[in-house]
Homo-oligomer: A and B are copies of this chain.
Amino acid sequence: MSGDYRLGKSRLEAFSDGVIAIIITIMVLELKVPHGDELQALYPLLPVLLSYVLSFVYIGIYWNNHHHMLHAVRHVNGRVLWANLHLLFWLSLIPFVTGWMGENHFAPRPVALYGLVLMMAGIAYFILAHALIRLHGRDSALALALGRDVKGKASVAIYAVAVALSFVAHWLALGLYVLVAIMWLLPDPRIEKTLDE
């Protein structure tokens, strides 16, 4: 429409897959091989491992949802490419905030920063979804599938609450991150349903 330059989505998918695959894997480099072969040598790694598991699930959720969303898409343009890179930027900071949170045993400030990056990634995903809807039209399968996007907006709101909570009750904030992860764990039924019909 209106001179909009259209690109195939395959290279966008391939590049995103590459970046997300690297992000999910380099986090494991924070699990530094300990000196000594006693099991006690592993104890300090436990919080690092736990924060790795949480972030692995989050990156998995983003890959999953990205997969589903792009599946419902026919083409992309320059705006979408940059909205996608913007999302990848915030995801690329997750290994760093995961490491900081794990090494400091879920202390308040690292937990807050972790939530801040999650919130920014959530906003970036929202922007990407809307760049795609703008390209495909308000009556496209994707737009109908996303609907009013209650889940996406709720996640960002919960992250914001959790960041503020971190300074007074950081375990509660962490619980909220786990809650949002569980909420997203299943692939989005809205998109599945609409596309299935």
Contact = CB atoms under 8 A, between A and B. Distances in A.
A143 interface: no
Interface residues of A, number: 65
Contacts of A82: 60, 64, 185
Nearest to A7: B71
B26 A192 contact: no
Given A14-B14, A78-B186, A187-B78, A195 B5 contact: yes
Contacts of A99: 33
Contact of A109 (B38, B56, B92): B38
A30 B32 CA distance: 10
Interface of A: 3, 5, 7-8, 11, 13-15, 17-26, 28-31, 33-39, 42, 53, 56, 60, 63-64, 67-68, 71, 77-78, 81-82, 85, 88-89, 92-93, 95-96, 99-100, 103-104, 107-110, 113, 185-187, 192-193, 195-196
17 contacts: A7-B71, A8-B71, A19-B24, A25-B26, A25-B92, A28-B96, A29-B29, A33-B103, A37-B104, A37-B108, A38-B109, A39-B109, A56-B92, A64-B82, A64-B85, A67-B81, A78-B187
